[in-house]
A = this chain, B = another copy of it.
């Protein structure tokens, strides 16, 4: 039973060697560079060999919403044919140096049409993406800011694995942009958790000290 994910990785790893046999371009992006710029329609699709990217949207009033992270062994953005207005506000940047395989929409279409395993995988990827968005739209929206924060921290530990990652390397600004809660309010929530010795906060990092206690604050839907 899958829970929402903010970080996508390794869900296309099995196609790496196949991708290499198909027409593509090898590219390198330095940390901070754009893979997909604001205002540009969606045109190229990347298979990520190493490094990670962040996908976010800029609101006309200046707010920034981080939607997802994409790391090694995954493909972003999801392949499709339509053009959506909202894509003009989407931005993808490298959060670390990246090596990728770059495909045009047309090249990817070729593969989609001739490789049934690939097309099945793309649909699964979409369903995972939908799941993450549904979680936010239909669940998180109704939670208090503290619950939302705790849910996010819990999910970022990669709860599904046997080895939860207890160090979340992210600024409070990023958490705020992921949650759609003001940075100051995020700080207040974290302070509260810190007082209860559930977490430790430091520069660009949250350390989870007491995962069971954290889950006490999470909504049922999250666990």
Report which A residues bind B (CB closer than 8 A): 1-4, 56-57, 59-61, 63, 65, 67, 78-86, 89, 112-113, 116, 119-120, 122-124, 126-131, 133-139, 141-142, 180, 219-221
Contacts and interface: CB of A to CB of B under 8 A. Distances in A.
Q: How many copies does the complex hold?
A: 2
A143 to B, nearest CB: 8
B57 A134 contact: yes
Contacts of A81: 120, 123-124, 127
Nearest to A137: B136
12 contacts: A1-B85, A59-B139, A78-B127, A80-B123, A80-B124, A82-B128, A84-B131, A112-B120, A112-B123, A116-B116, A123-B123, A133-B133
Contacts of A86: 4, 131, 134-135, 138-139, 221
B59 A138 contact: yes
Contact of A142 (B3, B65, B80, B120): B65
